[in-house]
Structure 1
Amino acid sequence: MKIHNAQYKIDDNSILNYYEVGTAKNKLLLLHAQGTNSCSFDNVVTKLAKYYHVYMVDYYGHGKSSHNPEKYNLVSIGNDIIGFIENVICDSVAVLGHSSGGLIAAYIAAQSPRCTKLILEDPPFFSSWGERRYNTYNYMDLSSVCHNFLLQDVEKDFVYYYFKNQYCWNFFPDESRETVREKLSGFALKYR
């Protein structure tokens, strides 16, 4: 199945690069994570195209889309992708967003009646403002563990360090927490 590459031009001359594959009746829009581009879906797009007419858009600053820092925000990207849905897809669409693409997908779902299905893959719906950040799972887990890893110089393997120090161990009862942590960490180390 051939993947077609094209560009969608916005009224302000910004360009959204996109890829299209498949001819199925049902439409699917894939929105990538920050720091990557539509190629992140290469391993699944041909399989999805058996069931969907698939579109993949590179956001501003990613892939072959315009690099315009004024448009590097949720509202600008979201509104321009809604325009893409209206003018290119021209139909109802299921929207899948991965990571920051999940934030954009949620925005599109809230703003556009064309989005009839929404799939969110690991969207960063958390607050990191002021004192509120101390009560977020992201702060207690990933951010704190990353910070502590950088402050130490004993363990060199971040994945193993994270596994041993992740916040989820707090969900185990006090009397069995360390036993379970050590046993499962041993399994994780053997796997690495």
Structure 2
Amino acid sequence: MKIILGILATILALIGLGIGGFIFHTLTYFRRSMTAVFRAGFTEKQVSINGSTIHYAEGPANGPPLLLIHGQAVDWQNYARVLPALAAHYHIFAVDCYGHGRSACAPEKYSAAALGQDLAQFIREVVGETAVVSGHSSGGLLAVWLAANALELVRGVVLEDPPLFTTTLPRATKTWNYVDLATTAHNFLASGETDFVAYNAQHSKLFTLFKGLQPKLTKTILDYRAKHPNDPVKVFYMPPVLNELLRGLNNYDPRFGQAFYDGSWNNNFDQAEALARISVPAVLIHTNWQYDADGILMAAMDDKDAEQARSLIPNVQFYKVDSGHGFHFEKPGDFVHIMTNFKKLL
């Protein structure tokens, strides 16, 4: 429910700018953010790692290397709001994970261990020196894997609201990601349908939270998809935080979600054991959380999960932040502040 309350609060705040200003903000946020990114000196590149294409953006060499790993169902551009400011302090490499953005669809590599191995090779071949690794959500789990299993490549790690301990079955079945994206992806793959964006609009649990607005929202998405079948959906009356989710789905492989549904994402990956082996300076960021009436965790972690993670990481700074799950997107200034302070510890 906090997801919806946050969206509604954003809508009300932006409506204060006037309807025209609200629509302009919604429909142009991405273009404006990306214009600033490219003006800051970022370029897009591709490389083949162990036979699979990784698409990434590289910024100017203004500091130690920083590998940014996005969360599920978005892409490297999800970091657009923080990239120009961070580029003044770090040499940034922001990747598209397999099954996202313009990187390869490689379902055999949709596990933390397999994808982590290729990201380690990416650091060796492309970055060329030890890097700070910052990952959001599932990207945070990849950052854990790298810090534990590629010690010689990682000089520091930032874990931005990772779903620690909550992606493991059977615990996962009582989490929002499982009942929403993972289950929708699983059902889509069994349905014979071919357009995941359209299928998600009709079956995603997220949209049921909008109650009376759900039919209108679903129709808006389907109508837009019919007119622009190759483009990310834009909903002019919804704020950027929701449109960003819709944008990422355009290049999302639902087989990635299936890996969270059947638990194969965690093959050969003991999260507690990995956390205990992190020896570099670390940051753990925990955002808001709650359980709904059905006992579903509407977040990546609850306080007990975050505390368990804190107790396992030997050298960690902990930040409890008042934000939704997409901290770097929702509060970019606060995220940049944490990252620039972290640089002083390296």
The answer, yes or no, to whether TM exceeds 0.5 is: yes
Match of 1:115 in 2: 154
After the TM superposition, which parts of structure 1 deviate over 6 Å for at least 4 consecutive aligned residues? none
Match of 2:121 in 1: 83
Match of 2:196 in 1: none
CA deviation string 1:101-148 (max 9, x = no partner) = 000010011111211101001101124424xx3xx8x93x758x99xx
Q: Give the deviation of 1:99 after TM superposition.
A: 0.1
Residues 50 and 118 in structure 2, CA contact (< 8 A), matched pair in contact too: no
Distance (Å, rounded) in 1 between the aligned partners of 2:209 and 2:100: 37
Alignment of 1:41-52 (within 5 A): 41-52=79-90
Distance (Å, rounded) in 1 between the aligned partners of 2:117 and 2:110: 12
Match of 2:211 in 1: 156
Root-mean-square deviation (CA), in Å? 3.2
* CA pair 166-27 structure 1, distance change in 2 beyond 3 A: farther
Alignment of 1:59-70 (within 5 A): 59-70=97-108
CA deviation string 1:10-31 (max 9, x = no partner) = 232x101110012123111110
Q: Based on CA coordinates, which of the two structures has the bigger radius of gyration?
A: 1
Alignment of 1:1-192 (within 5 A): 1-12=40-51, 14-112=52-150, 113-127=152-166, 128-130=168-170, 133=171, 139=174, 156=211
Distance (Å, rounded) in 2 between the aligned partners of 1:72 and 1:28: 23
Q: Which has the higher contact order (CA 8 A, sep 6+)?
A: 2
CA deviation string 1:24-80 (max 9, x = no partner) = 231111100010100100000010000100000101111111112112111121000
* CA pair 47-156 structure 1, distance change in 2 beyond 3 A: same
Distance (Å, rounded) in 2 between the aligned partners of 1:52 and 1:100: 22
Distance (Å, rounded) in 2 between the aligned partners of 1:154 and 1:116: 41
Which stretch of the first structure deviates more once superposed, 69-78 or 101-110?
Answer: 69-78
TM-score after normalising by structure 1: 0.69
Distance (Å, rounded) in 1 between the aligned partners of 2:87 and 2:97: 21
**How many percent identity over aligned positions?**
34
Distance (Å, rounded) in 1 between the aligned partners of 2:210 and 2:44: 45
* CA pair 70-26 structure 1, distance change in 2 beyond 3 A: same
Aligned to 1:6, the other structure's residue is in SS state strand
Aligned to 2:45, the other structure's residue is in SS state strand
Residues 142 and 166 in structure 1, CA contact (< 8 A), matched pair in contact too: no
- Structure 1 or 2: more strand by fraction: 1
Distance (Å, rounded) in 2 between the aligned partners of 1:67 and 1:155: 32
TM-score after normalising by structure 2: 0.40
Match of 1:190 in 2: none
